[in-house]
Structure 1
Amino acid sequence: MTDDSTEKNVSMLADKPSVEPTNSRPKPKKESFWANLLMNIVIPTLILTKLSGDDYLGATWGLIVALAFPITYGLRDFIINRKINVFSALGIVSVLLTGGLSLLHLPPEYFAIKEAAIPGILGLVTLFSIKTRYPLVKTFIYNDKVLKINKVDVALQEHGNQKHFERTLTNASLMIAASFFLSSVLNYVLAKIILVSQPGTTEFNAELGKMTALSYPIIALPMMIIMMGTLFYVFRSIRLLTHLTLEEVINDGSDN
Protein backbone atom coordinates (compact mmCIF):
# COMPACT_ATOMS: atom_id res chain seq x y z
CA MET A 1 0.00 0.00 0.00
CA THR A 2 1.36 3.43 -0.97
CA ASP A 3 1.94 6.31 1.41
CA ASP A 4 -0.80 8.32 -0.36
CA SER A 5 -3.40 5.63 0.21
CA THR A 6 -2.35 5.29 3.84
CA GLU A 7 -2.71 9.02 4.40
CA LYS A 8 -6.11 8.90 2.68
CA ASN A 9 -7.35 6.13 5.00
CA VAL A 10 -6.07 7.97 8.07
CA SER A 11 -7.83 11.12 6.87
CA MET A 12 -11.11 9.23 6.37
CA LEU A 13 -10.89 7.78 9.88
CA ALA A 14 -10.21 11.20 11.31
CA ASP A 15 -13.24 12.67 9.55
CA LYS A 16 -15.48 9.81 10.69
CA PRO A 17 -17.66 10.83 13.64
CA SER A 18 -16.69 9.10 16.84
CA VAL A 19 -19.23 6.79 18.42
CA GLU A 20 -19.71 7.41 22.10
CA PRO A 21 -19.87 4.23 24.15
CA THR A 22 -23.31 3.51 25.54
CA ASN A 23 -21.94 3.06 29.03
CA SER A 24 -20.65 6.66 29.01
CA ARG A 25 -24.14 8.08 29.29
CA PRO A 26 -24.62 10.03 32.45
CA LYS A 27 -26.33 8.02 35.12
CA PRO A 28 -29.64 9.35 36.42
CA LYS A 29 -29.15 11.61 39.38
CA LYS A 30 -29.90 9.92 42.68
CA GLU A 31 -32.63 11.38 44.83
CA SER A 32 -31.28 13.56 47.62
CA PHE A 33 -32.14 12.23 51.08
CA TRP A 34 -31.98 15.73 52.57
CA ALA A 35 -34.20 17.24 49.85
CA ASN A 36 -36.69 14.43 50.39
CA LEU A 37 -36.69 14.98 54.16
CA LEU A 38 -36.97 18.76 53.79
CA MET A 39 -39.79 18.80 51.23
CA ASN A 40 -41.87 15.94 52.64
CA ILE A 41 -41.39 16.32 56.40
CA VAL A 42 -39.61 19.41 57.70
CA ILE A 43 -41.24 22.23 55.68
CA PRO A 44 -44.83 20.85 55.87
CA THR A 45 -44.43 20.27 59.62
CA LEU A 46 -43.17 23.82 60.23
CA ILE A 47 -46.01 25.33 58.19
CA LEU A 48 -48.67 23.24 59.91
CA THR A 49 -47.37 23.88 63.42
CA LYS A 50 -46.07 27.46 63.17
CA LEU A 51 -47.82 29.23 60.28
CA SER A 52 -51.39 27.91 60.38
CA GLY A 53 -52.63 30.40 62.97
CA ASP A 54 -54.93 33.29 62.18
CA ASP A 55 -51.97 35.69 62.41
CA TYR A 56 -50.27 34.02 59.43
CA LEU A 57 -51.77 31.75 56.74
CA GLY A 58 -54.82 30.55 58.60
CA ALA A 59 -55.98 26.93 58.97
CA THR A 60 -57.13 26.35 55.38
CA TRP A 61 -54.29 28.08 53.54
CA GLY A 62 -51.75 26.68 55.98
CA LEU A 63 -52.87 23.16 55.07
CA ILE A 64 -52.90 23.90 51.33
CA VAL A 65 -49.40 25.43 51.35
CA ALA A 66 -48.01 22.61 53.51
CA LEU A 67 -49.42 19.91 51.22
CA ALA A 68 -48.14 21.72 48.12
CA PHE A 69 -44.52 20.89 48.99
CA PRO A 70 -44.71 17.06 48.95
CA ILE A 71 -47.08 17.11 45.96
CA THR A 72 -44.77 19.40 43.95
CA TYR A 73 -41.74 17.34 44.91
CA GLY A 74 -43.42 14.09 43.84
CA LEU A 75 -44.58 15.53 40.50
CA ARG A 76 -41.09 16.95 39.86
CA ASP A 77 -39.59 13.50 40.43
CA PHE A 78 -42.05 12.03 37.92
CA ILE A 79 -41.24 14.69 35.28
CA ILE A 80 -37.48 14.16 35.67
CA ASN A 81 -37.52 10.34 35.62
CA ARG A 82 -40.35 10.03 33.08
CA LYS A 83 -41.78 6.98 34.78
CA ILE A 84 -44.36 6.31 37.45
CA ASN A 85 -43.10 5.06 40.78
CA VAL A 86 -45.97 3.16 42.37
CA PHE A 87 -44.98 4.10 45.89
CA SER A 88 -44.44 7.77 45.07
CA ALA A 89 -47.84 7.79 43.37
CA LEU A 90 -49.44 6.30 46.48
CA GLY A 91 -47.69 8.94 48.58
CA ILE A 92 -49.16 11.73 46.44
CA VAL A 93 -52.61 10.11 46.64
CA SER A 94 -52.23 9.93 50.43
CA VAL A 95 -51.30 13.62 50.61
CA LEU A 96 -54.22 14.61 48.38
CA LEU A 97 -56.61 12.54 50.50
CA THR A 98 -55.31 14.24 53.64
CA GLY A 99 -55.99 17.65 52.11
CA GLY A 100 -59.40 16.62 50.79
CA LEU A 101 -60.57 15.11 54.05
CA SER A 102 -59.43 18.16 55.98
CA LEU A 103 -61.02 20.68 53.63
CA LEU A 104 -64.28 18.70 53.81
CA HIS A 105 -64.05 18.93 57.63
CA LEU A 106 -64.64 15.19 58.04
CA PRO A 107 -64.20 13.66 61.52
CA PRO A 108 -60.67 12.60 62.59
CA GLU A 109 -61.69 8.91 62.40
CA TYR A 110 -61.52 9.14 58.60
CA PHE A 111 -57.91 10.27 58.80
CA ALA A 112 -57.01 7.28 60.98
CA ILE A 113 -58.60 4.94 58.44
CA LYS A 114 -56.79 6.66 55.58
CA GLU A 115 -53.45 6.49 57.36
CA ALA A 116 -53.89 2.76 57.91
CA ALA A 117 -55.25 2.03 54.42
CA ILE A 118 -52.22 3.03 52.32
CA PRO A 119 -49.61 0.69 53.92
CA GLY A 120 -52.31 -1.94 54.36
CA ILE A 121 -52.96 -1.93 50.61
CA LEU A 122 -49.22 -2.20 49.93
CA GLY A 123 -49.04 -5.20 52.26
CA LEU A 124 -51.89 -6.94 50.44
CA VAL A 125 -50.35 -6.17 47.06
CA THR A 126 -47.03 -7.64 48.27
CA LEU A 127 -48.78 -10.84 49.35
CA PHE A 128 -50.72 -11.08 46.10
CA SER A 129 -47.55 -10.54 44.05
CA ILE A 130 -46.02 -13.74 45.48
CA LYS A 131 -48.28 -15.76 43.18
CA THR A 132 -47.34 -13.73 40.12
CA ARG A 133 -44.27 -13.72 37.89
CA TYR A 134 -43.19 -10.37 39.36
CA PRO A 135 -43.13 -10.51 43.18
CA LEU A 136 -42.56 -7.11 44.72
CA VAL A 137 -39.51 -8.39 46.58
CA LYS A 138 -37.71 -8.09 43.24
CA THR A 139 -38.60 -4.39 43.20
CA PHE A 140 -37.25 -3.84 46.71
CA ILE A 141 -34.22 -6.12 46.94
CA TYR A 142 -33.61 -8.66 44.19
CA ASN A 143 -33.09 -6.36 41.22
CA ASP A 144 -30.21 -5.50 38.89
CA LYS A 145 -29.66 -2.14 40.57
CA VAL A 146 -28.62 -3.88 43.78
CA LEU A 147 -27.32 -7.26 42.65
CA LYS A 148 -25.72 -8.91 39.63
CA ILE A 149 -28.84 -10.92 38.87
CA ASN A 150 -27.44 -12.87 35.91
CA LYS A 151 -24.42 -13.98 37.90
CA VAL A 152 -26.59 -15.10 40.81
CA ASP A 153 -28.98 -16.99 38.51
CA VAL A 154 -26.13 -18.84 36.80
CA ALA A 155 -24.61 -19.84 40.16
CA LEU A 156 -28.01 -21.01 41.46
CA GLN A 157 -28.48 -23.14 38.36
CA GLU A 158 -24.98 -24.64 38.64
CA HIS A 159 -25.66 -25.74 42.22
CA GLY A 160 -29.29 -26.76 41.60
CA ASN A 161 -30.65 -24.33 44.19
CA GLN A 162 -33.24 -22.40 42.15
CA LYS A 163 -36.20 -23.82 44.10
CA HIS A 164 -34.51 -23.14 47.43
CA PHE A 165 -33.96 -19.53 46.43
CA GLU A 166 -37.59 -19.17 45.30
CA ARG A 167 -38.57 -20.11 48.85
CA THR A 168 -36.17 -17.44 50.10
CA LEU A 169 -37.90 -14.81 47.94
CA THR A 170 -41.31 -15.97 49.18
CA ASN A 171 -40.20 -15.66 52.81
CA ALA A 172 -38.70 -12.23 52.05
CA SER A 173 -42.03 -11.15 50.52
CA LEU A 174 -43.82 -12.23 53.71
CA MET A 175 -41.36 -10.19 55.79
CA ILE A 176 -41.89 -7.10 53.61
CA ALA A 177 -45.68 -7.52 53.80
CA ALA A 178 -45.39 -7.80 57.60
CA SER A 179 -43.52 -4.47 57.68
CA PHE A 180 -46.37 -2.81 55.76
CA PHE A 181 -49.02 -4.29 58.06
CA LEU A 182 -47.04 -3.12 61.08
CA SER A 183 -46.92 0.36 59.55
CA SER A 184 -50.68 0.21 58.98
CA VAL A 185 -51.36 -0.55 62.64
CA LEU A 186 -48.90 2.08 63.90
CA ASN A 187 -50.35 4.69 61.52
CA TYR A 188 -53.86 4.04 62.81
CA VAL A 189 -52.85 4.16 66.48
CA LEU A 190 -50.76 7.33 65.99
CA ALA A 191 -53.61 9.08 64.16
CA LYS A 192 -56.17 8.08 66.80
CA ILE A 193 -53.95 9.38 69.61
CA ILE A 194 -52.86 12.68 68.05
CA LEU A 195 -55.73 13.79 65.77
CA VAL A 196 -58.46 14.81 68.21
CA SER A 197 -59.45 18.31 67.05
CA GLN A 198 -61.95 19.19 64.35
CA PRO A 199 -60.41 19.32 60.84
CA GLY A 200 -60.19 22.79 59.36
CA THR A 201 -58.99 24.35 62.60
CA THR A 202 -55.58 25.65 63.61
CA GLU A 203 -55.40 23.03 66.36
CA PHE A 204 -55.98 20.22 63.88
CA ASN A 205 -53.25 21.51 61.56
CA ALA A 206 -50.82 21.57 64.48
CA GLU A 207 -51.79 18.00 65.36
CA LEU A 208 -51.32 16.96 61.73
CA GLY A 209 -47.86 18.52 61.72
CA LYS A 210 -47.00 16.72 64.96
CA MET A 211 -48.17 13.40 63.50
CA THR A 212 -46.09 13.98 60.35
CA ALA A 213 -42.99 14.68 62.44
CA LEU A 214 -43.51 11.62 64.67
CA SER A 215 -44.29 9.25 61.80
CA TYR A 216 -40.61 8.81 60.89
CA PRO A 217 -39.18 7.74 64.27
CA ILE A 218 -42.29 5.80 65.34
CA ILE A 219 -43.29 4.19 62.04
CA ALA A 220 -40.38 4.37 59.62
CA LEU A 221 -37.76 3.11 62.08
CA PRO A 222 -39.45 -0.26 62.82
CA MET A 223 -40.11 -0.71 59.09
CA MET A 224 -36.47 0.06 58.32
CA ILE A 225 -35.32 -2.53 60.87
CA ILE A 226 -37.54 -5.19 59.27
CA MET A 227 -36.38 -4.25 55.77
CA MET A 228 -32.71 -4.43 56.84
CA GLY A 229 -33.37 -7.83 58.38
CA THR A 230 -34.99 -8.97 55.13
CA LEU A 231 -32.04 -7.68 53.15
CA PHE A 232 -29.60 -9.54 55.41
CA TYR A 233 -31.70 -12.73 55.09
CA VAL A 234 -31.70 -12.59 51.27
CA PHE A 235 -27.97 -11.83 51.05
CA ARG A 236 -27.15 -14.66 53.44
CA SER A 237 -29.28 -17.06 51.41
CA ILE A 238 -27.55 -15.99 48.19
CA ARG A 239 -24.15 -16.59 49.78
CA LEU A 240 -25.10 -20.06 51.00
CA LEU A 241 -26.90 -21.18 47.83
CA THR A 242 -24.47 -19.77 45.25
CA HIS A 243 -21.15 -20.04 47.15
CA LEU A 244 -20.44 -16.46 46.04
CA THR A 245 -19.32 -13.71 48.36
CA LEU A 246 -21.30 -10.53 48.87
CA GLU A 247 -18.60 -8.55 47.05
CA GLU A 248 -19.04 -10.81 44.02
CA VAL A 249 -22.80 -10.31 43.70
CA ILE A 250 -23.24 -6.67 44.69
CA ASN A 251 -23.77 -4.54 41.57
CA ASP A 252 -20.89 -2.08 41.66
CA GLY A 253 -21.17 -1.18 37.97
CA SER A 254 -18.51 -3.62 36.79
CA ASP A 255 -19.20 -6.51 34.43
CA ASN A 256 -17.24 -9.10 36.40
Structure 2
Amino acid sequence: MQMQVDQKVKKKENPLWSLVFNIVIPVLILLKLSDDEYLGDLYAMLIALAFPIGYSIYDFKVRKEVSIIAVLGIINVALTGGVKLLNLPPEYIAIKEAMVPFVIAVLIFFSTFTKYPLVNKFIYNDMIMDINKIESKLEETNHQVAFKKLLKNTSFIVAGSFLVSMILNYVIAKAIVVSPANTKDFNDEIAYLQSISFVAIALPSMAFMVVGLWYLTKGITRLTGYEFQEILVGYDEEMEKKKAEEENNLND
Protein backbone atom coordinates (compact mmCIF):
# COMPACT_ATOMS: atom_id res chain seq x y z
CA MET A 1 0.00 0.00 0.00
CA GLN A 2 2.78 2.40 0.93
CA MET A 3 4.55 1.68 -2.36
CA GLN A 4 1.42 2.55 -4.32
CA VAL A 5 1.01 5.82 -2.43
CA ASP A 6 4.66 6.73 -3.07
CA GLN A 7 4.26 6.05 -6.77
CA LYS A 8 1.21 8.29 -6.96
CA VAL A 9 3.01 11.08 -5.14
CA LYS A 10 5.98 10.70 -7.44
CA LYS A 11 3.79 11.12 -10.49
CA LYS A 12 2.33 14.41 -9.29
CA GLU A 13 3.57 17.54 -10.98
CA ASN A 14 4.95 20.20 -8.65
CA PRO A 15 2.73 23.26 -9.33
CA LEU A 16 5.29 25.67 -7.84
CA TRP A 17 8.10 24.53 -10.13
CA SER A 18 5.72 24.54 -13.06
CA LEU A 19 4.84 28.17 -12.33
CA VAL A 20 8.49 29.15 -11.94
CA PHE A 21 9.79 27.51 -15.13
CA ASN A 22 6.76 28.16 -17.36
CA ILE A 23 5.97 31.73 -16.35
CA VAL A 24 8.22 33.44 -13.79
CA ILE A 25 11.65 32.82 -15.33
CA PRO A 26 10.58 33.40 -18.98
CA VAL A 27 8.82 36.65 -18.02
CA LEU A 28 11.85 37.93 -16.09
CA ILE A 29 14.20 37.09 -18.97
CA LEU A 30 12.00 38.83 -21.53
CA LEU A 31 11.57 41.93 -19.37
CA LYS A 32 15.11 42.29 -18.04
CA LEU A 33 17.41 40.84 -20.70
CA SER A 34 15.86 41.87 -24.03
CA ASP A 35 17.86 45.11 -24.33
CA ASP A 36 20.76 45.13 -26.78
CA GLU A 37 23.30 45.55 -23.97
CA TYR A 38 22.21 42.19 -22.55
CA LEU A 39 20.93 39.33 -24.72
CA GLY A 40 19.01 41.29 -27.32
CA ASP A 41 15.37 40.66 -28.19
CA LEU A 42 15.96 37.50 -30.28
CA TYR A 43 18.26 35.60 -27.91
CA ALA A 44 16.23 36.66 -24.89
CA MET A 45 13.13 35.20 -26.50
CA LEU A 46 14.86 31.92 -27.42
CA ILE A 47 16.37 31.46 -23.96
CA ALA A 48 13.06 32.35 -22.28
CA LEU A 49 11.26 29.74 -24.38
CA ALA A 50 13.91 27.14 -23.57
CA PHE A 51 12.85 27.04 -19.91
CA PRO A 52 9.28 25.72 -20.38
CA ILE A 53 10.51 23.28 -23.03
CA GLY A 54 13.31 22.05 -20.76
CA TYR A 55 10.95 21.76 -17.81
CA SER A 56 8.47 19.70 -19.85
CA ILE A 57 11.24 17.30 -20.90
CA TYR A 58 12.47 17.01 -17.30
CA ASP A 59 8.94 16.45 -16.01
CA PHE A 60 8.43 13.66 -18.53
CA LYS A 61 11.66 11.95 -17.43
CA VAL A 62 10.64 12.14 -13.77
CA ARG A 63 6.98 11.15 -14.10
CA LYS A 64 7.35 8.81 -17.11
CA GLU A 65 4.03 10.04 -18.41
CA VAL A 66 3.22 11.70 -21.72
CA SER A 67 0.78 14.55 -21.20
CA ILE A 68 -1.22 15.84 -24.16
CA ILE A 69 -1.37 19.23 -22.46
CA ALA A 70 2.41 19.28 -22.05
CA VAL A 71 2.91 18.34 -25.72
CA LEU A 72 0.56 21.10 -26.83
CA GLY A 73 2.36 23.46 -24.47
CA ILE A 74 5.69 22.70 -26.14
CA ILE A 75 4.10 23.25 -29.55
CA ASN A 76 2.67 26.53 -28.28
CA VAL A 77 6.09 27.68 -27.08
CA ALA A 78 7.73 26.58 -30.34
CA LEU A 79 5.19 28.54 -32.36
CA THR A 80 5.94 31.66 -30.34
CA GLY A 81 9.59 31.24 -31.21
CA GLY A 82 8.62 30.68 -34.84
CA VAL A 83 6.73 33.98 -34.96
CA LYS A 84 9.82 35.69 -33.55
CA LEU A 85 12.34 33.99 -35.85
CA LEU A 86 10.27 34.45 -39.00
CA ASN A 87 9.25 37.99 -38.04
CA LEU A 88 5.58 37.23 -38.64
CA PRO A 89 2.83 39.78 -37.95
CA PRO A 90 1.86 39.99 -34.25
CA GLU A 91 -1.66 38.84 -35.15
CA TYR A 92 -0.24 35.32 -35.40
CA ILE A 93 0.31 35.31 -31.64
CA ALA A 94 -3.42 35.83 -31.03
CA ILE A 95 -4.25 33.04 -33.48
CA LYS A 96 -1.70 30.73 -31.85
CA GLU A 97 -2.99 31.51 -28.36
CA ALA A 98 -6.51 30.62 -29.46
CA MET A 99 -5.60 27.48 -31.37
CA VAL A 100 -4.09 25.53 -28.45
CA PRO A 101 -7.21 25.54 -26.19
CA PHE A 102 -9.36 25.02 -29.30
CA VAL A 103 -7.44 21.85 -30.18
CA ILE A 104 -7.77 20.61 -26.58
CA ALA A 105 -11.52 21.30 -26.62
CA VAL A 106 -11.92 19.38 -29.88
CA LEU A 107 -9.87 16.44 -28.57
CA ILE A 108 -11.92 16.29 -25.37
CA PHE A 109 -15.20 16.45 -27.30
CA PHE A 110 -14.39 13.67 -29.75
CA SER A 111 -12.71 11.53 -27.09
CA THR A 112 -16.07 11.25 -25.31
CA PHE A 113 -17.16 8.89 -28.09
CA THR A 114 -14.17 6.58 -27.56
CA LYS A 115 -13.09 4.19 -24.81
CA TYR A 116 -10.59 6.74 -23.51
CA PRO A 117 -12.34 10.06 -22.71
CA LEU A 118 -9.80 12.78 -21.99
CA VAL A 119 -11.90 14.08 -19.12
CA ASN A 120 -10.25 11.28 -17.13
CA LYS A 121 -6.98 13.18 -17.39
CA PHE A 122 -8.47 16.34 -15.93
CA ILE A 123 -11.04 15.29 -13.34
CA TYR A 124 -11.95 11.61 -13.16
CA ASN A 125 -8.58 10.07 -12.32
CA ASP A 126 -6.95 8.14 -9.50
CA MET A 127 -5.08 11.19 -8.29
CA ILE A 128 -8.38 12.65 -7.07
CA MET A 129 -10.94 9.86 -6.77
CA ASP A 130 -10.94 6.23 -5.67
CA ILE A 131 -11.75 4.89 -9.14
CA ASN A 132 -11.85 1.20 -8.18
CA LYS A 133 -14.20 1.84 -5.27
CA ILE A 134 -16.52 3.99 -7.40
CA GLU A 135 -16.69 1.57 -10.32
CA SER A 136 -17.25 -1.42 -8.03
CA LYS A 137 -20.21 0.36 -6.47
CA LEU A 138 -21.57 1.38 -9.89
CA GLU A 139 -21.44 -2.25 -10.99
CA GLU A 140 -23.12 -3.32 -7.77
CA THR A 141 -25.95 -0.79 -8.22
CA ASN A 142 -26.15 -1.37 -11.99
CA HIS A 143 -25.58 2.31 -12.80
CA GLN A 144 -22.81 1.96 -15.39
CA VAL A 145 -24.95 3.34 -18.25
CA ALA A 146 -26.05 6.35 -16.21
CA PHE A 147 -22.44 6.97 -15.23
CA LYS A 148 -21.28 6.93 -18.85
CA LYS A 149 -23.87 9.62 -19.60
CA LEU A 150 -22.67 11.60 -16.58
CA LEU A 151 -19.06 11.35 -17.73
CA LYS A 152 -20.01 12.45 -21.24
CA ASN A 153 -21.83 15.52 -19.95
CA THR A 154 -18.84 16.34 -17.75
CA SER A 155 -16.61 16.11 -20.83
CA PHE A 156 -18.75 18.71 -22.57
CA ILE A 157 -18.41 21.06 -19.58
CA VAL A 158 -14.63 20.63 -19.52
CA ALA A 159 -14.45 21.17 -23.29
CA GLY A 160 -16.48 24.33 -22.75
CA SER A 161 -13.84 25.57 -20.30
CA PHE A 162 -11.24 25.40 -23.07
CA LEU A 163 -13.54 27.17 -25.51
CA VAL A 164 -13.84 30.00 -22.99
CA SER A 165 -10.05 29.98 -22.73
CA MET A 166 -9.79 30.11 -26.53
CA ILE A 167 -11.92 33.26 -26.71
CA LEU A 168 -10.13 34.97 -23.83
CA ASN A 169 -6.73 34.00 -25.23
CA TYR A 170 -7.50 35.52 -28.60
CA VAL A 171 -9.05 38.75 -27.31
CA ILE A 172 -6.32 39.43 -24.73
CA ALA A 173 -3.42 38.49 -27.02
CA LYS A 174 -4.89 40.60 -29.82
CA ALA A 175 -5.09 43.60 -27.50
CA ILE A 176 -1.63 43.20 -25.94
CA VAL A 177 0.73 41.94 -28.66
CA VAL A 178 0.79 44.66 -31.31
CA SER A 179 4.50 45.31 -31.96
CA PRO A 180 6.59 43.81 -34.77
CA ALA A 181 8.18 40.48 -33.84
CA ASN A 182 11.76 41.72 -34.36
CA THR A 183 11.56 44.32 -31.57
CA LYS A 184 12.10 44.46 -27.83
CA ASP A 185 8.54 45.75 -27.44
CA PHE A 186 7.31 42.42 -28.81
CA ASN A 187 9.21 40.60 -26.05
CA ASP A 188 7.79 42.95 -23.42
CA GLU A 189 4.28 42.34 -24.70
CA ILE A 190 4.76 38.57 -24.69
CA ALA A 191 6.07 38.81 -21.12
CA TYR A 192 3.06 40.88 -20.08
CA LEU A 193 0.72 38.44 -21.79
CA GLN A 194 2.27 35.55 -19.89
CA SER A 195 2.22 37.40 -16.57
CA ILE A 196 -1.52 38.14 -16.69
CA SER A 197 -2.58 34.88 -18.30
CA PHE A 198 -3.24 33.15 -14.99
CA VAL A 199 -5.64 35.79 -13.67
CA ALA A 200 -7.25 36.83 -16.95
CA ILE A 201 -7.46 33.44 -18.64
CA ALA A 202 -6.73 30.53 -16.30
CA LEU A 203 -9.06 31.56 -13.49
CA PRO A 204 -12.24 31.80 -15.64
CA SER A 205 -11.34 28.48 -17.27
CA MET A 206 -10.70 26.92 -13.88
CA ALA A 207 -14.14 28.11 -12.78
CA PHE A 208 -15.62 25.93 -15.55
CA MET A 209 -13.41 23.05 -14.37
CA VAL A 210 -14.76 23.46 -10.84
CA VAL A 211 -18.30 23.37 -12.22
CA GLY A 212 -17.41 20.18 -14.11
CA LEU A 213 -15.88 18.62 -10.99
CA TRP A 214 -18.94 19.59 -8.91
CA TYR A 215 -21.29 18.14 -11.55
CA LEU A 216 -19.33 14.89 -11.74
CA THR A 217 -18.96 14.38 -7.98
CA LYS A 218 -22.62 15.26 -7.43
CA GLY A 219 -23.59 12.60 -9.98
CA ILE A 220 -21.23 10.01 -8.52
CA THR A 221 -22.56 10.47 -5.00
CA ARG A 222 -26.11 10.18 -6.33
CA LEU A 223 -25.38 6.98 -8.27
CA THR A 224 -23.27 5.29 -5.61
CA GLY A 225 -24.83 6.53 -2.40
CA TYR A 226 -21.41 7.56 -1.08
CA GLU A 227 -20.76 10.90 0.60
CA PHE A 228 -18.38 13.26 -1.22
CA GLN A 229 -15.40 12.54 1.04
CA GLU A 230 -15.92 8.79 0.65
CA ILE A 231 -15.06 8.86 -3.07
CA LEU A 232 -11.77 10.69 -2.59
CA VAL A 233 -8.40 8.95 -2.74
CA GLY A 234 -7.11 7.96 0.68
CA TYR A 235 -10.42 8.20 2.54
CA ASP A 236 -10.70 4.49 3.36
CA GLU A 237 -7.06 4.33 4.45
CA GLU A 238 -7.57 7.35 6.70
CA MET A 239 -10.66 5.80 8.27
CA GLU A 240 -8.81 2.53 8.88
CA LYS A 241 -5.95 4.46 10.47
CA LYS A 242 -8.33 6.34 12.78
CA LYS A 243 -10.11 3.12 13.71
CA ALA A 244 -6.80 1.45 14.56
CA GLU A 245 -5.77 4.44 16.69
CA GLU A 246 -9.10 4.35 18.56
CA GLU A 247 -8.72 0.62 19.21
CA ASN A 248 -5.18 1.15 20.49
CA ASN A 249 -6.38 3.91 22.80
CA LEU A 250 -9.11 1.63 24.17
CA ASN A 251 -6.60 -1.16 24.75
CA ASP A 252 -4.29 1.24 26.57
Residue 197 of structure 1 is matched in structure 2 by 179
TM-score scaled by structure 1? 0.87
Q: Percent identity?
A: 43
Q: Which runs of 5+ in 1 are unaligned?
A: 1-20
Following superposition, which runs of at least 4 residues in structure 1 exceed 3 angstroms of deviation? 21-27, 253-256
Which of 69, 72, 76 aligns to 2:58? It is 76
Q: How many residues align?
A: 237
Q: Which moved more, 1:173-182 or 1:146-155?
A: 146-155
Find the aligned partners of 2:85 and 2:223 in 1 and give their Cα distance: 54
Matched, 1:240 2:222: yes
Q: Indicate which of 89, 105, 122 corresponds to 2:104.
A: 122
Partner amino acid, structure 1, of 2:88: L
Counterpart residue number, 1:228: 210
Superimposed CA distance per residue, residues 73-119 of structure 1 (whole angstroms, 9 cap, x where no aligned partner): 11111122223211111101110110111111000111111111111
Distance 1:56 1:33 in 2: 30
What TM-score does the superposition give when structure 2 sets the normalisation length?
0.88
Could you give the per-residue CA deviations for residues 192-228 of structure 1, whole angstroms, max 9, x where no partner exists?
1011100021011001100111111011000111111
Structure 2 unaligned blocks of 5 or more: 241-252
Alignment partners' CA distance in 1, 2:126 and 2:44:
42
Q: CA deviation at 1:154?
A: 2.2
Please report how far the alpha carbon of residue 22 of structure 1 lies from its aligned counterpart in structure 2 after TM superposition: 5.4
Distance in 1 between residues matched to 2:56 and 2:120, nearest whole Å: 23
1:45-96 residue CA offsets vs partner (Å, 9 max, x unmatched): 1111222012221111110111111111111111222232111111011101
Aligned-residue Cα RMSD (Å) equals 1.9
Q: Does 1:146 align with 2:128?
A: yes
Task: Pick the aligned partner of 1:179 from 158, 161, 164.
Answer: 161
1:219 matched residue in structure 2: 201
- Provide Cα deviations, 1:10-30, integer angstroms capped at 9, x if missing partner: xxxxxxxxxxx8558665163
2:230 and 2:236 in contact (8 A); partners too: no
